[in-house]
Amino acid sequence: MIYLYRVEEKIISVKNLTKQYQTEQASGIQNISFDIKGGSIVAIIGESGSGKSTLLKSIYGLIKVDSGEILFNGKRILGPDEQLIPGHKEMKMVTQDFSLNIYAKVYDNIASMLSNTNVQAKQEKTIEMMEHLHIGHLRDKKITQLSGGEQQRVAIAKALVSDTSVLLLDEPFSQVDALLKNQLRADIKRIAAETGVTVIMVSHDPADGLFLADELLILKDGSLLQKGKPAHIYNHPDHIYTAQILGNAVVLKADDARKLGLETVKGDVVFYPEWVDLKSSWNSRRFEVKDVYYKGFYEELLLERNGVQIRAIQLNRGEHKKNDHVQANIDRFLSF
């Protein structure tokens, strides 16, 4: 497959996009602007109702927006009222139901996206795409004979086979278990690198974006809170919500923060549990371990001092137990 776009080139520009639904509460998306580089993986993260699907469908041209515009390589994307078949020919969207012909074979599902003008080219492209997705061995199976993860791969192969530049994924991992999810995330990353396709995905699970994305977009109540590289946003969140959704951050009111000796000029104090350094000690920073939560390869401790509770990570499982006293230094914190 041809590498279609260099990473630095802007493929999509969203400008001041607003869509309000006619409901009593404010809903939809408000005045959203951002650019997407060709060949990158972008994850739109936010809780249910934050406007993720509205934004994704608008980019694809499925929603008539109230104001603003979306440009694809500099050209305005038309809304559903402006063309006969809504959507965009260089983009494909994979929805949660995969939209496959369940009675047809894997090969035919994928090949159906290509024209019959050159039968040999059609065959070669279909086989090449099946190989990219590691589903060549499933070629003659019917969709009903496949697992959820296999169906997902077929859906992605079908979406990518017809020279697609942008793959839109709506909650791609919602139907699969944790083990398969890790595999599919890695697959999407590999396929994007191999084909050069731009991926825009929507997820309510921030771990998807942190693992996969070159850029994260954090949405809340229809507004774009922050956009940037996952590690940057994680370490420098602009909003408390971002720190909470990405890393289950501890949030303390200024009064409570002061009770722990944290001086803040502004309101709330925010830090991630892994920013707390634990030591067995009896000096003034003593916390009581109120509870221990098992998390697999680590434990999370619920700590209390002067009536204020915080959480910390304990990698050395069992080192500090319930009712123990520990020294907890909050190495870094943010003020909001």
Ligand X SMILES: Nc1ncnc2c1ncn2[C@@H]1O[C@H](COP(=O)(O)OP(=O)(O)OP(=O)(O)O)[C@@H](O)[C@H]1O
Q: Which residues bind ligand X (CB under 6 A)?
A: 21, 23, 27-28, 46, 48-54, 204
At closest approach, how far in Å is the CB of 312 from ligand X? 31
- Nearer to ligand X among residue 53 and residue 164 (C-beta): 53
At closest approach, how far in Å is the CB of 19 from ligand X? 8
At closest approach, how far in Å is the CB of 79 from ligand X? 14
At closest approach, how far in Å is the CB of 23 from ligand X? 5
What spatial distance separates the first Cα and last Cα of the chain, rounded to whole Å? 47
Question: 303 has which bridge partners?
Answer: 289, 310
- Nearer to ligand X among residue 38 and residue 222 (C-beta): 222
At closest approach, how far in Å is the CB of 13 from ligand X? 20
CB contact at 8 A, 104 and 142: yes
- Nearer to ligand X among residue 21 and residue 293 (C-beta): 21
Sheet (strand 269-271) strand order = 250-252, 269-271, 334-335
| Nearest-10 Cα torsion for 265, 268, 269, 272 | -150
- Nearer to ligand X among residue 22 and residue 316 (C-beta): 22
Q: What are the tokens at 91?
A: 């983009």
At closest approach, how far in Å is the CB of 128 from ligand X? 33
- Nearer to ligand X among residue 52 and residue 88 (C-beta): 52
What are the distances in angstroms from CA 273 to CA 100, 134, 242, 317? 43, 39, 15, 15
- Nearer to ligand X among residue 21 and residue 103 (C-beta): 21
CB contact at 8 A, 327 and 278: yes
- State the number of CA atoms in the 13 A half-sphere of 141 facing the CB: 13
